[in-house]
Every structure is written in structure tokens, then in C-alpha cells.
Chains A and B, each alone.
Chain A
């Protein structure tokens, strides 16, 4: 709807523009567009089509030019595999906890920083550090902090009597995923909190004041006023965090390689080891497609819900 409206208005505008300037022809937009379009076509669209094709074939990494068409074989085999069910479950847990954890902690931090106090600018800047730090460096320092023998985390846990036996958190099927989740959320919360902070600052102060004057409690004011204003931002962040979590590779790969015994294997990790360890390009592509389709469903679904809500509101 809105897109259509926009196009109509800008269309009529470019009508006048064309009459106003004889040198801009109807080819002008394509000239601006062409270099980038060729680029995206060559480096994104063509490889993607190739990858889709691969997912219907049996192809070995060792002899990638020889593909045998196997139809939906890769998909049926992958979905029939117990290990893949576990991968799906791990991915699901990873995404849900990342989204809830990063948005929840981001909101808490944003509320903390929303009131004015001395040094707030500094606090705000320092909080962004985890997000700015390169993923490789984060994986490195996290691995060192979790080192079984000399890592500061184990020393601390031992000191307060909560030590993991043997101390090898990243080698433990029970604790590896929580450790990876904690590292991921640590890296994401600055982003969500800065975005939510700017949303909070658009909450009209007179509205919250009016609510307080009317004798509303803090919780009620939050739900009736603040929450209503930041709800769209929360939704937007949830989608963004979902897409990012479904794509995230290097943090998990460098910390655990998906181990121990598959405890931290998400779809992307599974696809990479299927391609480069098992050398099966076909089933690797099939696994990758599952992830892309999940992303697509999330984005399309959320747009659908948002539009329905918009219609409701009208």
C-alpha cells in the first residue's frame, strides 16, 4: 500500500523532473544503478542460484565439477537424520535465547541510562565497547577467560564455590552452549540498548508525568505509556537479532567448532562442517537452505503481523 503510494508520488515528481531537465532520460536511474546491480548479481545472486542447484545434487568437495542430480534426496536424508534434529533444536534454543537475552538486557540497560546523571555520556560510550570489538577478538578473549587451568572465570567460580569440575566449560556438553550464549549476548546488548535508548528518548515526557500526577504507579506508567512507544522498536530488534543469530558463524566456530558432541552445533556450523569436513557440498547446501528459509519465514511473517496490527489500529 504505502509502497504503491510512494511510487505514485515520486513518479509524478520525476515526470516534472524530466520535463524540467532534458538531459535526464528514463535511462538515468539505470545508469546510477548498473554498477551496484552487476556487482550484487555476480557476487550474491549467481552464487546463491548455484548453491540452490547444489542442494539438489550429490557433489563432493574433492571433485566439485561433477554433480549428480538427486532431486530432494538431500533434504529427505537431512530431515531423517537424528543429529540434524538436534541441530535444529540447538539453533532454535540459540536464536530464542539470543533474542530474548539481548533485547531484555538491552532494555534494562537502556532504562538505567535513560535518566540523566553526571557522566551519562561516558557510560553510554563505554557500554558500546562489546559491540564494537571484532568477533575474532571476542572469541579469543572469551576462550582465554574460560581456560580450564588459568582462566579468570574458573578462578572466580572456584573462589565462590561454584566451580565446574575440571573447569573445562567449553568442553562440557552441559555448559558449552550457555557459555557461547553468554558471550553472544555480551556482544549484542550494547546494540539493543543504544537503539532502545533512543526510542525511550522519544517517549513524551509530559505523558509519563501526567500518568504519575494521576497517581499511576511506575509499573503501570511503563506499561501504558513507555511500552506502547517502544513496542515497534522491540519488534524490529527481535527480527534483526533473529537474522543475525541465524547467520552467526565465527564466534561459535572458533570457540567450540560446534562441539562437544554437537552441543553447540547451529545450522551454519553444521553446514560448514558438512562442506569442509565431510566434503558433502550437496547436503551442506540443503542445510544452508533450511536456515535461509527460516530467516525468510521470520521476516515475511513479522511483516504480515505488523501489517495486520496496522489495519487493526485503523
Chain B
């Protein structure tokens, strides 16, 4: 019964506690801590442009994590995730503008409000599956967007709503450099929370529902409760991410948060690896960085020998869009299990070198 394990020989566990750690080995844990420490230096190394890209990755990775709980771990589907993201953004902006609550508290509060709304939209989810559920969540997207354009008191209607900058106890954080740490902290905490969730009772119940809902029910798991709960959790992280985004941009508008953004969130989850916490981060980075990379390539191409030979001129822009689409298609064909799976393969390769198994 050879089961592939990357735990080095001689690494024995003598307590159950040592066998239920987040990271499989001490080295992998140290690497993660080292990675976080490196990330702390990012604001001093990165240009403003790259700093803004990393903040975006951080924020979207939190939202995508929520979606992964729903899609990857519970086996449900949602194409209304962007609407919950936007709801979190508007809620946090509204609270920080209209109530004497510092932004520090407004962000988690916006998460809770979004989670409540998510639970409401999650109720039909307990009874629907597959394509039917997809359509139901599409309805959620349109209902919420319609609400935002009508409720001017809440969202400012056609005028973008303004949001207060981030503050803790009167101390105002200004600029990308300081905001980077806020996002980093939220990112780490969110990923820890979800990792913990997935190794305890309710997380296991979600995965059990995904793998075999009939036997999950016989094991005492209330299907309706957990399917609805999963929507609540997904909406919570979308709300947190949206709130972070609002206080980063300082204005919130509906622009760019239609159905295409919802699909992009799904792409992040699928490319990163459904049912993988760290994969979500990789997938988000991939989806955010891909257009940037293609932009860079097309800029390099402009005026080069290839450009002149093929007379591309302005067509480069269109080629870029096509290339992004092609890369995503190729990715899904050759890497259906996502980046997380590829990462495991790479680790196995180095671990087992020069043998292949």
C-alpha cells in the first residue's frame, strides 16, 4: 500500500498533535514563515506599480479563498461572487462614512453583513445542484447589482461612493506601503482560518458533502444547514475582501464587478486548484499577473522585428487578449488539477530525484 508521502524517512511523529500540524514538515513551515518575512520587505523593494499589483493579488486572493470554500470544498457553484465582493465594499464604505466606527472595525463588520446576505441567498442552494444552482446564483448577482444602482443612499447610485482611508484608533494609514501590511495581515489570518476550518468538524462535513452527500447525511451531517453555511462563509470572505478593496481605492463603484468578475474569481479557483487553500493564492496570482505579463510582452513586441515583419501595429492589443484566452484554455486542458497539483509534482520531483517514483 505505497501511498506517496513527502515526509522524509526518520521523521517520526510521537503525538497526535505533532501529526495534525498545518505544514507537513518543519522545513515547509520554516519556508512559509520565511516567505511571509520576505513579503514584509516588499513595500521597500517594489515599485509603486508592483506594490499595487501585490495588494490586488492579496485582496482578490481573500475573495477567491471564500469562493474555493464554496466551489472546491463543498462542491457547490456560484457565479455571483463579485456581487458579494461589491456588497462588502459598499457596506464598509457606508459604515465608515455614516457611523462613528473606525475602518478597522468596519471591515470585519462588512464581512458579517455580507455573510448574512450570503446566507439568505444560500437557502435556495440547499435544494439546487449543478447548473440550476449556477442560474440561481446568477440571479443573486443581478439582484444585488440592481439594488446597488437603485439604493442611492447606500451606494451613491451612479456616482461612486467614497470610502474613508484605513485608520486604527485615530492613527491614519496612508498610501500603498502601509496598506500593504493591512492586506498581508488579513491574507494570513484568512488563510489560517480556512486551513483550520478544513481540519475540524465543520470543514470535514463540507468536504464530505462534496464527495458523497448521501453517505454524509447518514453520518449525521445536515445537508441543508452546511450547504447554506458554505454560502455564508464564501460571502464573508468576499465581503472582507470587498471592504479591503474599498478602503484601498477610497472610492467604490460598480464598474468592473459584473458577471465577468465573478467568472474571473471562478477562474482563480479552478486555475489554482479546487479544494486547495494555497492553490487559491497561486491561482489568484496567475490570473492577476497573466494580463500584466502579456502587456509587457506586447510592449516589447511593439516596434520589434517581428512586429515589422508581420505588420501587427495596433493588432497587438487584440493578440494579447487572444493569448490570455488561449493560455487559460491550455492550462485547463493540461493542468486540470490546478497549480497546487503542479506544485506538489515539482516538490515530489526534487524530493525523489534522481528517481521518478
Q: Do A and B bind?
A: no
Where the two chains meet, the residues of B that have a C-beta atom closer than 8 Å to any C-beta of A are none
Where the two chains meet, the residues of A that have a C-beta atom closer than 8 Å to any C-beta of B are none
